[in-house]
Amino acid sequence: MTGIALLGAGRIGQVHAKAIAEAGATLVSVYDVMPEAAKTFADRSGATVCDSADAAIQHPGVDGVLVATSTDTHVDLILASADAGKAVMCEKPIGPSLTEARRCINALGERADRVFIGFNRRFDPGHAKVNAAVLGGEIGTLEQLTLTSRDPYPPPLEYIPVSGGLFRDMMIHDFDIARWMLGEEIVRISAEGSVAVDPEIGKLDDVDTAIVSMVSESGKQIVILNSRRAVYGYDQRIEAFGAKGMLISDNPSDTSVKKFGPEHFAAPDAYATFFMDRYTVSYRREIEAFVHMIQTGGKAPVTAKDGFMASYLAEAATLSSKWGRSIELDIEGQATWGNRSP
Amino acid sequence: MTGIALLGAGRIGQVHAKAIAEAGATLVSVYDVMPEAAKTFADRSGATVCDSADAAIQHPGVDGVLVATSTDTHVDLILASADAGKAVMCEKPIGPSLTEARRCINALGERADRVFIGFNRRFDPGHAKVNAAVLGGEIGTLEQLTLTSRDPYPPPLEYIPVSGGLFRDMMIHDFDIARWMLGEEIVRISAEGSVAVDPEIGKLDDVDTAIVSMVSESGKQIVILNSRRAVYGYDQRIEAFGAKGMLISDNPSDTSVKKFGPEHFAAPDAYATFFMDRYTVSYRREIEAFVHMIQTGGKAPVTAKDGFMASYLAEAATLSSKWGRSIELDIEGQATWGNRSP
Amino acid sequence: MTGIALLGAGRIGQVHAKAIAEAGATLVSVYDVMPEAAKTFADRSGATVCDSADAAIQHPGVDGVLVATSTDTHVDLILASADAGKAVMCEKPIGPSLTEARRCINALGERADRVFIGFNRRFDPGHAKVNAAVLGGEIGTLEQLTLTSRDPYPPPLEYIPVSGGLFRDMMIHDFDIARWMLGEEIVRISAEGSVAVDPEIGKLDDVDTAIVSMVSESGKQIVILNSRRAVYGYDQRIEAFGAKGMLISDNPSDTSVKKFGPEHFAAPDAYATFFMDRYTVSYRREIEAFVHMIQTGGKAPVTAKDGFMASYLAEAATLSSKWGRSIELDIEGQATWGNRSP
Amino acid sequence: MTGIALLGAGRIGQVHAKAIAEAGATLVSVYDVMPEAAKTFADRSGATVCDSADAAIQHPGVDGVLVATSTDTHVDLILASADAGKAVMCEKPIGPSLTEARRCINALGERADRVFIGFNRRFDPGHAKVNAAVLGGEIGTLEQLTLTSRDPYPPPLEYIPVSGGLFRDMMIHDFDIARWMLGEEIVRISAEGSVAVDPEIGKLDDVDTAIVSMVSESGKQIVILNSRRAVYGYDQRIEAFGAKGMLISDNPSDTSVKKFGPEHFAAPDAYATFFMDRYTVSYRREIEAFVHMIQTGGKAPVTAKDGFMASYLAEAATLSSKWGRSIELDIEGQATWGNRSP
């Protein structure tokens, strides 16, 4: 039986615990900085509560470690798990800053392939279907890619200062999706951010509405649209345009119910407004992939290098938006950008 | 240049006149029981006003006659035109009663093939596309056919007594569509009518809501739904189900605009609520078919026999609904049904 | 903790067992006519294997009994469970014949309200949403109801002779949905059945393709279409048309992916072709409703009387189809129909 | 009767001539640089063939002039018509270069409001409906605008060198739509162009695939996607996202036919692949607006200033794409950009 240690027993940790059981794996040990949270959790699941992350990682029977703690602890826990020879899955982002992310992949070296960064959207059934079709050549050479990500409502204001800003916290998902769809790296980025949803977000030196345009190594064009608020619910779409056609992963609706009345105007039935409703299936499929990775000893479906590159793009977007100009990118993620003037 | 005589200068006559010009034919002569109507009409089109239907039919340069007068005059005008050697197009129905319709086709004999009964829905682009696909075998053997016809609102109450009733006036379109889609005749029919829209219609001994189920020679099953009122506009759909798939001709919308707001529930953009908006294209295509029929000397796309058979089905449906029982049909339309008991 | 006895450890029994656990109830005892099946099952769930149905029913801790055995045993097991004072949920149909179904409700008397007949489609999220909207008056008075039920492929031929025929085995779901949507009883029915899918089904004296038209007490019109084969997957729709609009519960698709290529023609993304994919959610919701019914001591959402009435309609449809004529119905389900002639 | 002079009797001139007749106006005079073309044309319409543009403009009975000649003659003919006191409608673009466009509006002064630049897409029924809804506040403050314009196939290669390039020839439509939807000016633009469709286009120093991101005066964000080839037909959509919802003007389909078969994957029925099929209605509505403008003496729905601003944006996009950097814009269109370095 595949055994898993869970670091962090918060909301997302509980979601994963359920998925671990359904995937036929066993939660062996749990650690949380708040012992009460870990205990409540362990009582329900039968896992052992540990006093430290290291104890949970090293607990007998642990094959893989699931890191679901706060972002500032990610790098140390990934490295500790890897040093203990465990497979790792870590919530996005890989670390709180590009410097930390770089430290992580440098320290990991080739072990980066056994570290799975939890970009759950890759496991959304619609997104995954479009990705397989595009990489399988169904629309010929990909030419333009449009990613739309709008959340139903902004996070609590107190979260904004610790979030790293919209590009690092929210658009990082789209940077990962972009690289996954392209199969190659980005070479230029131009970002625009503005405050349209809530002026308080602006006072905290962040933006809530953003667009990014990018070009890849071979000249493919990518557009990303983000907003912290969409009154109609989660709006997370992929549009892939190629030489032989177009594929769209549209938003799923609650049901296929349609109403026809005198007041005409078309809209789909309700979209999800709670992240667990929207992403139940992708979280489950993500954990299945992690269990499969442990059992086969294979490569992570999203590696630490992928996690680093998404952070690299988020950093560049943040600077591009601040500086009001395009930024050239290094496909290895090594280049840094000194200051505002190009 | 193809010359056409128009009998009846009312609203639908004017629609046809415009289509005649667009189809590259010429309106040569006009007759209407109200000379003023014909005159106004002729002034605009350049056609000659005639004192009688015969004069209009026999006017030099007339190749085809378009009968758009009141239903009670249809049979005589069809026969007069045919006797004069002209191609004929006549608005549906072929005549005011099954007896009249039978008189017409008996008198026409083989000339019935040069009399085009104006069931314009066959010329609707969506319906025509589904018909071509079904007859072309795209869904294998047809097994079930569902026809929905709902009008936006009922006709004026004063029209009800002269309409012949819902089955003869409204559902007759669906009987024609059914035969066109099947490519064979109906052998059994069961009709239900009720008054759901307006009790005044019931007082006039008619119904405003009806369903019919039918079986064809080879056992294909057909369902028809009619209502005199649909608050969301014209609702006229075909669903053809076969061994290899299903084809649906859905309602066309004004535009492809979609609105997404917090109040969820899906509906298409507005459907037409005025018959000329809904059927502009099919009326135009119908007249093009008539001009083509004149020019090629070919067979009418909907013959007098087709017109008769639709009336035969409408008669049977009316009786089935009244008698509360199924009725067996004769594929030549010869059988009559004496009375209520089977 | 709510305890449940499971009678019948076959495929559907296993589905229910999973749902029982997810609904927070406990599977206490299991009985199956094949002891091995029950044992395998019990090993996994922790339930006690019993030697007889009675033992399972009477096992300590059992609050409700779930009957998932073969149809011919339904009535006896329902009655035994009710006599033991247990809440009951029984797979559809209530019994193998109308006579058996009548015996059941007569013996149950007022206890019929605590017997839940498992018409799972009422728990489909889309269907349930349309039902709530219609009964809530969103489209005014209901005027026409169209139910489409087509299965991806026919059952094994050996099942046909024991199935009771299409109307009793398959369309019985639609009869239940019709009564649920109408909120009143049916007074007349006309059925047509034919063999379009597989001639072998005809040799076994059954049909594979059927339409039914019905009228309710207040004159509402209902149409049902059934086929044993739809190459595009499960096709199970409700269309409710009323004075103030129309509601459609359309088929759900796997994803919201759309593909645009040079070969145009619209179809939704894949429909389910395996019943467990199509009805996972409704089975789960159904069991939740049963657990809720046990815990609250309330009335079954679908009672034994409902189960009986669906069988009554199925019987009438079978006869109408054989006799080729409409049949009048008794809203209490008491009338019987002697022979072919009306 | 409103009289119109037509300068240029090519393909688009013929389209307009038909629309002029349908709008109840009269084509009075025609001029074309190829006398034969003008003559053929006049024979059909009854208009007088003139030896020079001036003669056509000054012909008795001319109220308005429709300029449909080659782009290099636009400015002179607009000015000549305005000097003659006529209302003008001119095909887009206003002139072959930004310099020419600026000369035109400077010379026109206040008369610019009576010069209608033919951006026909504003008259597309779906686009117009979304525009009215957005400007009417239906989705609150507009926050993000996405414009997609993809043609079915690229123009002939020989057209590329005289086209001015993709941004000036094709994306100019989107620049006009953007300003129309925003109701304010653009202040920053970043363009990317690449050659994905045909390497021959690249050899001619043009691009065939492009994205642009822009920001408006109040911080609204705009994205434009262009491609010279879409195998599924014209792809011209507007997506307007605001504080209270989203509106999409999607592509219209030939019919509402849907096909359901075993090979699943969703696509709409055929999109237009010929510009006259796609834009029949908008061309007609555009001419109606011109006739209405003549008859009322009112302001052009798209003025020469609008035409100039679209050219200004196209110029900036061309440079931004070449220079690989963002460009700041002057809302009056006065600023020029010296060279590559910012």
DSSP B62-91: --EEEE-S-GGGHHHHHHHHHHTT-EEEEE
Count the residues in chain D. Answer: 342
Q: Out of C264, C267, C270, whose CB is closest to D270? A: C264
Residue reference for tokens 């359901």: D260
Residues D172/D164, Cβ–Cβ less than 8 Å = no
Per-residue pLDDT reduced to its tens digit, D222-252: 999 999 999 999 999 999 999 999 999 999 8
Which of the four pLDDT bands, split at 50, 70 and 90, describes residue C172? very high
**Per-residue CA distances from B277 to A192, B281, C52 (Å):** 45, 9, 70
Question: What are the DSSP E strand ranges found in chain B?
Answer: 3-7, 26-31, 48-49, 64-67, 87-91, 115-118, 142-150, 186-194, 209-216, 221-227, 235-242, 245-249, 257-260, 327-328
Per-residue pLDDT reduced to its tens digit, C178-234: 999 999 999 999 999 999 999 999 999 999 999 999 999 999 999 999 999 999 999
pLDDT (0 to 100) of residue A339: 67
Compute the half-sphere exposure of residue C175: CA atoms within 13 Å on the CB side of its CA: 30
List residues bridging with D190 in a β-sheet: D213
| Rounded Cα distance, D143 and D288, in Å | 32
Q: Is the pLDDT of residue D336 over 90?
A: no
Share of chain D above pLDDT 90, in %: 73
- Judge residue C263's burial from the number of C-beta atoms within 10 Å of its C-beta, 0-12 exposed, 13-18 middle, 19 or more buried: exposed
D125 touching B (Cβ < 8 Å): yes
In A, which residues are within 8 Å of C254 by CB distance?
Answer: 125, 129
Per-residue pLDDT reduced to its tens digit, D13-55: 888 888 888 888 999 999 999 988 888 888 777 899 999 999 9
Q: How large is the average pLDDT for residues C305-331?
A: 92
Residues D176/D308, Cβ–Cβ less than 8 Å = no
pLDDT (0 to 100) of residue D339: 67
Residues B168/B193, Cβ–Cβ less than 8 Å = no
Q: Is the pLDDT of residue B189 over 60?
A: yes
Compute the half-sphere exposure of residue B184: CA atoms within 13 Å on the CB side of its CA: 16
Reduced to 3 states (helix: H, G, I; strand: E, B; else coil), residue A152 is coil
Residue reference for tokens 């046909």: C160
B261 touching D (Cβ < 8 Å): yes
Q: Which of B294, B295, B292, B279 shows the shortest CA–CA distance to B12?
A: B279
| Rounded Cα distance, D151 and D147, in Å | 13
Per-residue pLDDT reduced to its tens digit, A90-129: 999 999 999 999 999 999 999 999 999 999 899 999 999 9
Count CB-CB contacts under 10 A for residue B128. 18
Handedness of CA B293, B298, B301, B304 (dihedral sign): positive
In D, which residues are within 8 Å of A225 by CB distance?
Answer: 144, 146, 221, 223, 241
Share of chain B above pLDDT 90, in %: 73
List residues bridging with B317 in a β-sheet: none
| Structure-token pair, residue C288 | 């939740």
Q: How large is the average pLDDT for residues C34-50?
A: 85
C259 touching A (Cβ < 8 Å): yes
Q: Is the peptide bond before D93 cis (omega within 30 degrees of 0)?
A: yes
Which of the four pLDDT bands, split at 50, 70 and 90, describes residue D75? very high
pLDDT (0 to 100) of residue C274: 76
| Structure-token pair, residue C328 | 């009048």
Count CB-CB contacts under 10 A for residue B189. 23
List B residues 134-163 in contact with D (Cβ-Cβ < 8 A): 138-139
| Rounded Cα distance, C64 and C89, in Å | 8
Count CB-CB contacts under 10 A for residue A105. 24
Count the residues in chain B. Answer: 342
A251/C257 Cβ within 8 A: no
Residue reference for tokens 């509505």: D285
List C residues 176-205 in contact with D (Cβ-Cβ < 8 A): none
| Rounded Cα distance, A94 and A72, in Å | 9
Q: Which of B55, B149, B64 shows the shortest CA–CA distance to B115?
A: B64
Q: Are strands D87-91 and D26-31 parallel, antiparallel or unpaired?
A: unpaired
D219/A195 Cβ within 8 A: yes
Residue of C nearest to B226 (CA): C144
Mutation choice for D interface testing from C264, C269, C277 by most D CBs within 10 A: C264
Q: Out of A232, A257, A258, whose CB is closest to B260? A: A232
A331 touching D (Cβ < 8 Å): no
Residues A92/A173, Cβ–Cβ less than 8 Å = yes
Per-residue pLDDT reduced to its tens digit, D127-160: 999 999 999 999 999 999 999 999 999 999 999 9
pTM over 0.90: yes
In D, which residues are within 8 Å of B44 by CB distance?
Answer: none
Mutation choice for D interface testing from C265, C273, C277 by most D CBs within 10 A: C265
B213/C192 Cβ within 8 A: yes
pLDDT (0 to 100) of residue C341: 57
B255 touching A (Cβ < 8 Å): no
Q: In the predicted model, what is the mean pLDDT of chain A? A: 91
D245 touching A (Cβ < 8 Å): yes
Q: Is the pLDDT of residue B82 over 90?
A: yes
In B, which residues are within 8 Å of D250 by CB distance?
Answer: 256-258
pLDDT (0 to 100) of residue B338: 67
In single-letter form, the type of residue at position C277 comes to D
D253/B261 Cβ within 8 A: no
Reduced to 3 states (helix: H, G, I; strand: E, B; else coil), residue B304 is helix
A with B: how many residue pairs have Cβ under 8 Å apart? 66
Residues B206/D219, Cβ–Cβ less than 8 Å = no
DSSP state of C177: H
The terminus-to-terminus CA distance of chain B in angstroms comes to 55
pLDDT (0 to 100) of residue D338: 67
Q: Are strands A221-227 and A209-216 parallel, antiparallel or unpaired?
A: antiparallel
Residues A245/D231, Cβ–Cβ less than 8 Å = yes
Q: Which of A166, A262, A261 shows the shortest CA–CA distance to A207?
A: A166
Residue of C nearest to A127 (CA): C257
| Rounded Cα distance, A41 and D91, in Å | 70
C223/B213 Cβ within 8 A: yes
C248/A130 Cβ within 8 A: no
DSSP B114-149: GEEEE-GGGG-HHHHHHHHHHHTTTTSSEEEEEEEE
D138/B259 Cβ within 8 A: yes
In A, which residues are within 8 Å of B267 by CB distance?
Answer: 258-261, 264-267
Q: Out of B209, B220, B244, whose CB is closest to C221? A: B209
Q: Out of B232, B246, B342, whose CB is closest to C245? A: B232
Per-residue pLDDT reduced to its tens digit, B273-284: 777 777 778 888
Q: Which residue has the higher pLDDT, C325 or C140?
A: C140
Residue of C nearest to B190 (CA): C190
pLDDT (0 to 100) of residue A340: 61
Q: How large is the average pLDDT for residues C316-327?
A: 92
Q: Out of B144, B190, B235, whose CB is closest to C209? A: B144
| Rounded Cα distance, A238 and D73, in Å | 44
pLDDT (0 to 100) of residue A322: 92
| Rounded Cα distance, C27 and C68, in Å | 14
A126/C256 Cβ within 8 A: yes
**Per-residue CA distances from A242 to A179, B151, C200 (Å):** 16, 43, 48
Give the neighbor-by-neighbor strand order of the sheet with C64-67: C48-49, C26-31, C3-7, C64-67, C87-91, C115-118
Mutation choice for D interface testing from B258, B269, B277 by most D CBs within 10 A: B258
Per-residue pLDDT reduced to its tens digit, D278-328: 778 888 888 888 889 899 999 999 999 999 999 999 999 999 999 988 999
CA-based nearest distance D255→chain B, Å: 5
In D, which residues are within 8 Å of B255 by CB distance?
Answer: 125-126, 129, 249, 252
Q: In the predicted model, what is the mean pLDDT of chain C? A: 92
| Rounded Cα distance, D22 and D283, in Å | 12
Per-residue pLDDT reduced to its tens digit, A177-187: 999 999 999 99
Count CB-CB contacts under 10 A for residue B296. 8
Residue ranges of chain A whose pLDDT lies below 50: none
Phi, psi of C338 (to 5 degrees): -65, -55
